[in-house]
Amino acid sequence: DTGVSQDPRHKITKRGQNVTFRCDPISEHNRLYWYRQTLGQGPEFLTYFQNEAQLEKSRLLSDRFSAERPKGSFSTLEIQRTEQGDSAMYLCASSLGSGADSEAFFGQGTRLTVV
Amino acid sequence: GESVGLHLPTLSVQEGDNSIINCAYSNSASDYFIWYKQESGKGPQFIIDIRSNMDKRQGQRVTVLLNKTVKHLSLQIAATQPGDSAVYFCAIQGTDKLIFGTGTRLQVFP
């Protein structure tokens, strides 16, 4: 257990439905990241927060995706009007600062299946 | 942009042998590299890292080698154990995010 928790662990939803995932980072970590991982691939960066500010969003994060970190603690990732291509593992990570000597700790992920 | 690639999608080794997992990267300006281990159903777990001002770093049973001339990174696991079975990713610390390769699945057989 890395100290980063994600909920739910698994989510099956019908195409067109909205889903929301939650991430609770390690409490003193100011940075929080969302990644997406499809089968057989490495994690791909989606977005990150420093405290409550969302500082970067990947091109992968379409208009249907929105992430928040309202109080600089937990974060939510919402996907609206889900599509089958959204099926993936959504990983959250947190760190204290960035770069070398700022190890990112990953949660167990939320596996989304869109049917 | 930066890219990271692993040489082999699957590596099978016998328990007790040494394992070597290789990785190539494209950006010569990359200065921080990390190896992660991911077990089935879990998130990536940090194994070892290395900065560009080093060419070798050792941990417990693991060694990372960095060859900046050919932009190549390797992870060596000594005396591979069944518990080492997992997917291994190399990652580069880009600007404020990690860039991962596609991963190598390490299978350990008795």
Cβ contacts from A onto B, under 8 A: 57
Are A2 and B43 within 8 A, CB to CB?
yes
Structure tokens at A79: 């996907």
The residues pairing with B17 across neighbouring beta strands, listed in sequence order, are none
Cα(A44)–Cα(A29) distance, integer angstroms: 21
Predicted local confidence at residue B2, as pLDDT = 64
To the nearest whole angstrom, how far is the Cα of B63 from the nearest Cα of chain A? 18
Average pLDDT, chain B: 92
- Of A12 and B97, the structure prediction assigns the larger pLDDT to A12
Segment B89-108 shows an average pLDDT of 91
Strand partners for B88: B37, B104
A79 part of contact set with chain B, CB < 8 Å? no
For residue A104, what are its two tokens? 């990112």
Q: DSSP secondary-structure letter at A63?
A: T
Cα–Cα distance, B63 to A25 (Å, whole number): 29
- Token pair belonging to B89: 């990713």
Among B96, B104, B109, residue whose Cα is nearest residue B38: B104
Average pLDDT over residues B74-89: 97
CA distances from B2 to A60, B5, B26, B30, B57 (A): 16, 10, 6, 8, 23
pLDDT, mean of residues A82-89: 97
Q: How confident is the model at residue B30 (pLDDT cuts 50, 70, 90)?
A: confident
In chain A, residues with a C-beta closer than 8 Å to the C-beta of B98 are 33, 35, 43, 45, 104
